[in-house]
């Protein structure tokens, strides 16, 4: 079917019609008048103006001026998500540059449209001086022909006032001078039309899409195949918006493989998944379970993808898709659709997953998905009927809104076709008349002709002669425009006769006007001028007057006479004085004879059928036609008017049929044949030659034939009854008695009683039949055998028939039902035995001769267990059981459950089941703690703790969260830094350290109470607490310390200052806690104090000893601890000596206060690290 969309530049504004009244020739047309269109050449141009009530009015018109449109056509919007197709795109770009004609072919759903829209924005297309014209199908059974497509090509580039109905020559002259890229997408044009297009656009590029390769070399073929696998994956990821990661990529790879890299199937499913309507794993599982009906790989992929999506749609979404699929056009009105199914929320949801696409402000669906939804289904038929009702109401009110008609054209034309096919003739009339002005004014005359023929058929079926006359008027007027004047005369005369007979004076005036335009003036003075539609009496032109005018037209236009070939010689008809004298022998007679057998042998006759045809190319006006036979006599024929063509004209090639009966005589039977001669003549005494017909009367040859027809072609269950009909045909040429016996090897046959006395009951005439019946009940063995064949024979009067047989095939329904049960609902220890029993029921309707295969996750073949007794076959409804045994492992306890997925298969039939046994999990911990050393004596002393953590439960701990030990002395100890995993009854060790404090000294002990814990499945697991106690034992004073008795008034600060030390050193040395008091008479230990002194001198002989060298006075000296911290600073005396008094024993450095050392280069002795006892 042809489908296309009108480019925006060629669309008229809404309301292009001009309501009111205008003068067209000599007719004042009032009411609903549409924009006119002109057609013709420089010699003769006609103006066509539509009136929806009476039909089109034709007038002469001056040739209009045709101009190029000011704006070149532009390509459609560039597609989103374009992936791959680099090679095909490069080929198309090269062909465009070379201005080739290309046929891009491939199955729907491979991305032809997307590729073409991409190429339309390429560099090659942009180089075309006159732009890019992209025309897309309008959908529906539109009846748009080659001339209609030329019209839209022409209107896209040119304009005139009034518009021009383009012809081939006009199109070739104007379109042949354009240099543009023309893309025709979605047209299923016949080969002859395809081959004409390149000549029309010879200076530009042309790309046409199709499903198959071209038949010849007119077009360069480019075949579109499925995507490369990596491109398919990229398309899926970009469409779904998913990231390419290690978890998703394998599933995406599977999906693209299952969908055979078909772009439409992949893109729709990817969008559905990307919107969160389906998971990747569910998509893979679902696709694997779908077996599409189509044998075509591409269509099968689309069916598989959409079939999966469809199962996950809401009922309201399915209804809306059905409503869109019901529309024969490419799109539907959004408001109508939302009112029919689901509303705005549902349409937006379907747009989000791209099952519907916006064709603003309308909605559309991909053709491949429409095909899957199958317009033949009842629900879709109902929606189509609703759309028909809607447009039948809406379209007549908007006939002058050409923008509306452009949008709905595909739906209107498709619905007219569908309404005609389903006998909705009133709808055909309403829609046909509503779209008539648009088709006329837009120059879509191929579609106009198809619609008018359907309206004419509607008028005939409705027996509405007014509708028939309107259609005849329109068809005749159209013939004027396309230059077929004889056909125009014929149709307009028909229309005029009917309108006159109906008293339709206005309509008759319209028809007369158009006839007057193409016929010479009448010489009949009695014929009045046609009256205007606004009033007056219509004058019915006499038959003779119209005959004279029609004859006059043929005399003035001899070029219309058709050469007629007889016996290889070309004879040219010579025009005579009148229309009926153009040909000497205008009538052709053919005779058919058929021997008629009646209800008994006493009546035997021959039926003659006489066919009289006008073999001329012009209508033949005559009154009565009669046939004369030398054996029967005169045979009357029906009047020509009774043929239903509304006039007394026997049109060219029109045939009238006459009949007669001749009774066979004994003499005829003895002679063995009957010869009859006949000829035809008209009321004007025109006679044909005699035609002889001989009927041979053959001698009696009795024979019978038997056939068997069951009432069903298949069966699927035991007990099903098959009803057979046995037809016995008298294949001889003699009468036979109706006493018959039929014997069947499987069925008791009932032929009824034949005791009636009438001839009809007694005799079976030649070629007549009688029937018998029998019933057979299907057995299980018939299902198992796959078919039932029965053979029968019939006997009449001892005459046997052929042996007839009938074979009915079993409709095998395979089905398996597998259930699995476990002998325990739970488990809690490693080594526990779980026994699974798999019970399989044969849900098929046949006996399975070999047993299905049962498999499961835990055993390769559970049916091989030794203690099982299995049947050899499995009858319908019977079951078999197999057992699998499993021993629980630690992993099963840790996992929390054991899942056994079992499947049974027989050929391609499978049944699956999943059984879950849950674990009883008992997580538990125990902790033991030890400490070293066993005691402490000072603050800051390090205590080392060791924790032994034992898993006392039945599940492994530490997998999800680390094991933590909390102690009041050690704080929190994370034993999972290295992720310690502890299986049941296994111990793990972790450690921690603790530094003793003065508070611990006060307490005389350190007690560490610890609890081990971890998280298991969102719960906390804790051990019982464990403790370790370390006692405080004072070690005594440091070496070189002496006893000291506290005097009255002494404080810790005073004592510490007196001995030049920090209070903490004093406390630690005397094992004092933070709360130990100082009081008179109390004994403590204090250090011995020492003095540090020396000489700073110039070591002139550099031997490191002061052997006569003088000391250096006022030299700054610094005293530092061995760790580098400064103790004190002083200066040497006049003799170069220095002194640091009352220092604690220890290791010190004596250094230059400025340079931090005493330089030997100055000849100064470096005392270095000075140990002081």
Question: Using CB atoms within 10 A of its CB, is residue 271 exposed (0-12), middle (13-18) or buried (19+)?
Answer: buried
**Which residue among 696, 713, 732 closes a domain?**
696
Give the Cα separation of 768 and 43 in Å (integer). Answer: 65
Does 627 share its domain with 710? no
The reply to whether 997 falls in a domain is yes
Cβ atoms < 10 Å from Cβ of 311: 11
CB 654 within 8 A of CB 611: no
Backbone angles phi, psi at 760, to 5 degrees: -60, -35
- Higher-pLDDT residue of 960 and 933 is 933
CB 578 within 8 A of CB 546: no
Average pLDDT over residues 380-399: 89
Residue 929 pLDDT: 92
Average pLDDT over residues 668-686: 75
Read off the pLDDT band of 599 (50, 70, 90).
Answer: very low
Least confident range of 551-555, 1098-1102, 1137-1141: 551-555
Rounded to the nearest angstrom, the gap between the alpha carbon of residue 127 and the centroid of all alpha carbons in its chain is 35
Q: Can you list the alpha helix ranges (DSSP code H) found in 422-484?
A: 425-441, 445-462, 465-481
Backbone angles phi, psi at 540, to 5 degrees: -80, 115
According to DSSP, residue 453 is labeled: H
For residue 409, give the H/E element and its range. Answer: helix 402-421
Place of tokens 């729709």: 268
End-to-end CA distance of the chain: 118
Least confident range of 730-739, 783-792, 993-1002: 730-739
Cβ atoms < 10 Å from Cβ of 982: 23
Read off the pLDDT band of 619 (50, 70, 90).
Answer: low
Closest by alpha carbon to 822, among 833, 831, 813? 833
Question: Using CB atoms within 10 A of its CB, is residue 621 exposed (0-12), middle (13-18) or buried (19+)?
Answer: buried
Q: Does residue 147 have a pLDDT over 50?
A: yes
CB 721 within 8 A of CB 746: no
Residue 19 pLDDT: 35
Helix (H, G, I), strand (E, B) or coil at 895: helix
Helix (H, G, I), strand (E, B) or coil at 309: helix
Peptide bond into 933 cis (omega under 30): yes
- Higher-pLDDT residue of 532 and 926 is 926
Least confident range of 293-297, 618-622, 1040-1044, 1111-1115: 618-622
Q: Which long-range contacts (CB under 8 A, 24 or more apart) does 344-353 make?
A: 346/314, 346/316, 346/317, 346/320, 347/320, 349/314, 349/317, 350/317, 350/320, 350/321, 352/271, 352/275, 353/268, 353/271, 353/272, 353/275, 353/277, 353/309
Does 877 share its domain with 781? no
Residue 829 pLDDT: 92
Rounded to the nearest angstrom, the gap between the alpha carbon of residue 270 and the centroid of all alpha carbons in its chain is 11
The reply to whether 634 falls in a domain is yes
Residue 1163 pLDDT: 33
Average pLDDT over residues 19-27: 40
Closest by alpha carbon to 748, among 774, 723, 767? 774
Q: Does residue 1157 have a pLDDT over 60?
A: no
Average pLDDT over residues 1089-1108: 79
Residue 419 pLDDT: 92
Strand partners, 243: none
Give the Cα separation of 557 and 548 in Å (integer). Answer: 14
Cβ atoms < 10 Å from Cβ of 667: 8
**Which residues, other chains included, contact 282 with Cβ-Cβ below 8 Å and sequence gap of 6+?**
none
Average pLDDT over residues 588-608: 74
CB 658 within 8 A of CB 612: yes
According to DSSP, residue 740 is labeled: E
At 1110, which CATH number? 2.60.40.10
Q: Does residue 901 have a pLDDT over 90?
A: yes
Does 692 share its domain with 726? no
Does 1003 share its domain with 1098? no
Read off the pLDDT band of 529 (50, 70, 90).
Answer: very low
Express each pLDDT in 330-368 by its tens digit. 888 999 988 888 888 988 899 899 888 887 789 988 888
Give the Cα separation of 383 and 83 in Å (integer). Answer: 36
For residue 494, give the H/E element and its range. Answer: helix 485-502
Residue 49 pLDDT: 83
| Highest-scoring range by mean pLDDT, 516-530, 849-863, 968-982, 1143-1157 | 849-863
Give the Cα separation of 418 and 421 in Å (integer). Answer: 5
Residue 965 pLDDT: 81
Peptide bond into 361 cis (omega under 30): yes
Give the Cα separation of 433 and 56 in Å (integer). Answer: 11
Read off the pLDDT band of 140 (50, 70, 90).
Answer: low
Average pLDDT, the chain: 80
Does 679 share its domain with 731? no
For 764-800, give the DSSP string: E-TT-EEEEEEEEE--HHHHHHSEEEEEEEEEETTEE
Give the Cα separation of 618 and 614 in Å (integer). Answer: 9
Q: Does residue 758 have a pLDDT over 70?
A: no
Does 873 share its domain with 950? no
Read off the pLDDT band of 618 (50, 70, 90).
Answer: low
**Which residue among 1087, 1104, 1125 closes a domain?**
1087
For residue 506, give the H/E element and its range. Answer: helix 505-518
The reply to whether 738 falls in a domain is yes
Q: Does residue 23 have a pLDDT over 50?
A: no
Peptide bond into 162 cis (omega under 30): yes
Read off the pLDDT band of 1167 (50, 70, 90).
Answer: very low
**Which residues, other chains included, contact 354 with Cβ-Cβ below 8 Å and sequence gap of 6+?**
267, 268, 271
Give the Cα separation of 32 and 35 in Å (integer). Answer: 10
Does 822 share its domain with 895? yes
- Higher-pLDDT residue of 1084 and 548 is 1084
According to DSSP, residue 907 is labeled: T
Helix (H, G, I), strand (E, B) or coil at 1108: coil
At 1079, which CATH number? 3.10.350.10
Least confident range of 201-205, 719-723, 1144-1148: 1144-1148
Residue 1042 pLDDT: 81
Place of tokens 């003699």: 734
Percent of the chain beyond pLDDT 90? 21
Closest by alpha carbon to 430, among 444, 445, 412? 412
The reply to whether 239 falls in a domain is no
For residue 158, give the H/E element and its range. Answer: strand 158-159
* Rg, the chain, Cα only: 55
Give the Cα separation of 1173 and 1163 in Å (integer). Answer: 28
CB 653 within 8 A of CB 674: no
Place of tokens 């703790």: 945
Q: Does residue 642 have a pLDDT over 80?
A: no
Average pLDDT over residues 1103-1114: 82
Residue 1156 pLDDT: 42
Residue 538 pLDDT: 32
Residue 970 pLDDT: 66
Read off the pLDDT band of 968 (50, 70, 90).
Answer: confident
Residue 104 half-sphere exposure, CB side, CA atoms within 13 Å?
A: 30
> 875 lies in which domain range?
816-918
Residue 2 pLDDT: 28
Least confident range of 98-102, 313-317, 759-763, 1134-1138: 759-763
According to DSSP, residue 296 is labeled: S
Does 1083 share its domain with 1096? no
CB 787 within 8 A of CB 716: no
CB 678 within 8 A of CB 693: yes
Instruction: At 1112, list the tokens.
Output: 């250096």
The reply to whether 719 falls in a domain is yes
Residue 429 pLDDT: 94
Least confident range of 426-430, 548-552, 798-802, 905-909: 548-552
- Higher-pLDDT residue of 377 and 646 is 377
Residue 473 pLDDT: 94
Residue 525 pLDDT: 44
Closest by alpha carbon to 150, among 2, 15, 48? 2
CB 1135 within 8 A of CB 1101: no
Read off the pLDDT band of 532 (50, 70, 90).
Answer: very low
Cβ atoms < 10 Å from Cβ of 729: 18
Residue 585 pLDDT: 58
Residue 17 pLDDT: 36
Read off the pLDDT band of 657 (50, 70, 90).
Answer: confident
Residue 253 pLDDT: 92
Express each pLDDT in 439-471 by its tens digit. 888 888 889 999 999 999 999 999 999 999 999
The reply to whether 619 falls in a domain is yes
Give the Cα separation of 120 and 490 in Å (integer). Answer: 48
Q: Does residue 48 have a pLDDT over 50?
A: yes
Residue 528 pLDDT: 42
Residue 569 pLDDT: 29
**Which residues, other chains included, contact 551 with Cβ-Cβ below 8 Å and sequence gap of 6+?**
578, 579
Cβ atoms < 10 Å from Cβ of 1173: 7
Does 913 share its domain with 976? no
Place of tokens 């095939």: 809
CB 387 within 8 A of CB 328: no
Q: Does residue 34 have a pLDDT over 70?
A: no
Total domains in the fold of the chain: 6
Give the Cα separation of 859 and 883 in Å (integer). Answer: 9
Read off the pLDDT band of 391 (50, 70, 90).
Answer: very high
Does 914 share its domain with 929? no
The reply to whether 475 falls in a domain is no
Place of tokens 């569908």: 418
Among positive and negative, which fits the CA dihedral 523, 524, 530, 535? positive
Does 588 share its domain with 673? yes
Strand partners, 1111: 1097
Place of tokens 């998509």: 283
The reply to whether 13 falls in a domain is no
Read off the pLDDT band of 803 (50, 70, 90).
Answer: very high
Backbone angles phi, psi at 715, to 5 degrees: -145, 155
Average pLDDT over residues 568-584: 34
Does 932 share its domain with 834? no
**Which residue among 878, 897, 918 closes a domain?**
918
Residue 870: C-alpha distances to residues 777, 850, 873 (Å): 31, 11, 9
| Highest-scoring range by mean pLDDT, 614-618, 806-810, 1163-1167 | 806-810
């Amino acid at each position: 079917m042809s489908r296309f969309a009108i480019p925006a530049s060629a669309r008229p504004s809404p309301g292009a019609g001009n309501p009111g009244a205008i003068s067209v020739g000599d007719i004042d047309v009032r009411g609903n008048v549409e924009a006119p269109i002109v057609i013709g050449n420089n010699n003769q141009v006609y103006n066509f103006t539509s009136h929806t009530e009476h039909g089109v009015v034709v007038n002469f018109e001056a040739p209009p001026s045709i101009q190029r449109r000011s704006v070149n056509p532009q390509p459609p919007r560039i597609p989103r998500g374009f992936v791959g197709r680099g090679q095909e795109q490069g080929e198309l770009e090269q062909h465009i540059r070379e201005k080739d004609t290309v046929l891009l072919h491939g199955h729907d759903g491979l991305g032809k449209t997307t590729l073409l829209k991409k190429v339309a924005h390429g560099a090659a297309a942009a180089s075309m001086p006159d732009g890019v014209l992209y025309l897309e199908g309008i959908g529906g059974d539109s009846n748009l022909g080659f001339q209609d497509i030329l019209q839209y090509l022409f209107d896209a580039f040119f304009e005139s006032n009034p518009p021009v109905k383009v012809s081939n020559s006009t199109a070739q002259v104007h379109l042949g001078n354009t240099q543009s890229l023309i893309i025709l997408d979605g047209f299923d044009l016949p080969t002859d039309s395809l081959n004409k297009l390149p000549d029309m656009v010879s200076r530009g590029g042309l790309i046409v899409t199709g499903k198959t390769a071209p038949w010849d070399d007119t077009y360069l073929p480019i075949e579109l195949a499925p995507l490369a696998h990596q491109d398919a994956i990229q398309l899926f990821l970009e469409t779904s918006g998913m990231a390419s990661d290690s978890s998703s990529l394998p599933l995406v790879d599977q999906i693209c493989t299952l969908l055979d890299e078909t772009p439409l199937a992949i893109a729709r499913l990817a969008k559905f998944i990307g919107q969160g309507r389906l998971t990747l794993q569910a998509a893979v599982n679902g696709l694997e379970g779908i077996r599409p009906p189509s044998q075509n790989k591409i269509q099968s992929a689309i069916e598989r993808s959409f079939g999966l999506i469809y199962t996950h749609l809401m009922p309201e979404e399915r209804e809306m898709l059905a409503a869109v699929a019901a529309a024969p056009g490419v799109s539907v009105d959004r408001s109508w659709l939302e009112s029919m199914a689901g509303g705005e929320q549902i349409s937006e949801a379907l747009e989000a997953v791209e099952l519907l696409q916006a064709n603003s402000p309308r909605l559309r669906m991909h053709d491949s998905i429409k095909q899957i939804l199958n317009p033949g289904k009842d629900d879709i038929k109902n929606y189509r009927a609703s759309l028909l009702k809607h447009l039948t109401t809406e379209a007549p009110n908007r006939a002058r809104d050409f923008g509306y008609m452009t949008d709905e054209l595909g739906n209107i034309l498709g619905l007219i076709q569908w309404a005609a096919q389903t006998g909705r003739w009133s709808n055909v009339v309403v829609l046909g008349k509503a779209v008539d002005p648009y088709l006329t004014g837009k120059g879509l005359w191929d579609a106009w002709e198809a619609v008018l023929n359907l309206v004419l058929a509607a008028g005939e079926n409705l027996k509405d002669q007014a509708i028939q006359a309107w259609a005849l008027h329109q068809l005749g007027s159209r013939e004027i425009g396309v230059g077929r004047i004889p056909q125009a005369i014929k149709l307009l005369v028909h229309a005029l006769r009917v309108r006159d007979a109906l008293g339709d004076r206005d309509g008759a005036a319209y028809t007369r006007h158009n006839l007057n335009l193409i016929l010479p003036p009448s010489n009949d003075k009695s014929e009045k001028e046609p009256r205007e539609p606004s009033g007056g009496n219509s004058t019915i032109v006499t038959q003779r007057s119209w005959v004279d005018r029609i004859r006059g037209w043929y005399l003035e236009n001899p070029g219309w006479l058709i050469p007629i070939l007889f016996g290889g010689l070309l004879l040219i008809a010579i025009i005579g004085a009148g229309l009926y004298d153009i040909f000497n022998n205008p009538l052709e007679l053919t005779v058919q004879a058929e021997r008629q057998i009646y209800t008994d042998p006493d009546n035997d006759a021959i039926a003659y059928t006489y066919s009289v045809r006008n073999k001329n190319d012009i209508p033949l006006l005559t009154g009565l036609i009669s046939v004369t036979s030398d054996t029967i006599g005169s045979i009357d024929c029906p009047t020509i008017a009774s043929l239903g063509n509304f006039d007394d004209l026997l049109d060219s090639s029109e045939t009238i049929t006459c009949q007669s009966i001749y009774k066979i005589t004994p003499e005829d039977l003895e002679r063995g044949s009957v010869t009859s001669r006949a000829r035809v003549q008209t009321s004007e005494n025109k006679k044909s030659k005699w035609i002889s017909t001989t009927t041979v009367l053959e001698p009696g040859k009795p024979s019978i034939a038997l056939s068997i027809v069951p009432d069903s072609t298949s069966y699927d269950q035991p007990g099903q009854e098959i009803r057979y009909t046995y037809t016995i045909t008298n294949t001889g040429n003699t009468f036979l008695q109706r006493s018959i016996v039929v014997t069947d090897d499987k069925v008791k046959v009932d032929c009824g009683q034949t005791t009636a006395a009438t001839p009809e009951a007694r005799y079976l005439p030649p070629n007549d039949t009688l029937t018998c019946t029998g019933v057979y009940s299907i057995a299980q063995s018939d299902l198992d055998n796959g078919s039932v064949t029965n053979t029968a024979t019939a006997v009449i009067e001892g005459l046997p028939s052929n042996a007839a047989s009938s074979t009915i095939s079993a409709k095998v329904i395979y089905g398996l039902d597998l259930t699995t049960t476990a002998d325990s609902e739970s488990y809690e220890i490693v080594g526990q035995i779980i026994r699974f029993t798999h019970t399989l029921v044969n849900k098929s309707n046949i006996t399975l001769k070999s047993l299905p295969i049962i498999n499961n996750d835990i055993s390769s073949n559970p049916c091989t267990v030794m203690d099982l007794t299995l049947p050899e076959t499995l009858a319908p409804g019977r079951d078999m059981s197999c057992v699998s045994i499993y021993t629980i492992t630690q992993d099963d306890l840790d996992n929390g459950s054991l899942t056994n997925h079992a499947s049974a298969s027989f050929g391609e039939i499978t049944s699956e089941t999943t059984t879950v046994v849950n674990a009883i999990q008992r997580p538990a911990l125990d902790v033991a703690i030890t400490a070293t050393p066993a005691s402490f004596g000072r603050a800051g002393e390090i205590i080392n703790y060791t924790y032994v953590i034992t898993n006392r439960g039945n599940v492994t701990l530490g997998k999800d969260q680390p094991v933590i030990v909390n102690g009041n002395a050690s704080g929190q100890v994370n034993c999972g830094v290295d992720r310690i995993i502890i299986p049941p009854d296994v111990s793990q060790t972790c450690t921690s350290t603790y530094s003793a404090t003065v508070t611990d000294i006060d307490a005389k002990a350190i007690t560490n109470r610890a609890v081990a814990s971890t998280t298991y499945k969102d719960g906390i697991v804790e051990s019982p607490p464990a403790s370790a106690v370390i006692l405080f034992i004072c070690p005594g004073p440091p070496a070189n310390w002496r006893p000291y008795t506290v005097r009255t008034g002494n404080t810790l600060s005073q004592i510490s200052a007196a001995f030049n030390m920090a209070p903490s050193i004093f406390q630690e040395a005397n094992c004092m806690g933070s709360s130990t008091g100082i009081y008179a008479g109390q004994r403590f230990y204090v250090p011995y104090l020492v003095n540090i002194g020396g000489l700073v001198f110039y070591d002139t002989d550099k031997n490191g000893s002061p052997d006569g060298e003088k000391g250096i006075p006022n030299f700054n000296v610094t005293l530092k601890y061995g760790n580098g911290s400064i103790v004190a600073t002083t200066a040497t005396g006049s003799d170069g000596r220095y002194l640091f008094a009352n220092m604690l024993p220890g290791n010190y450095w004596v250094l230059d206060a400025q340079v931090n050392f005493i330089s030997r280069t100055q000849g100064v002795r470096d005392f270095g690290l000075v140990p002081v006892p």
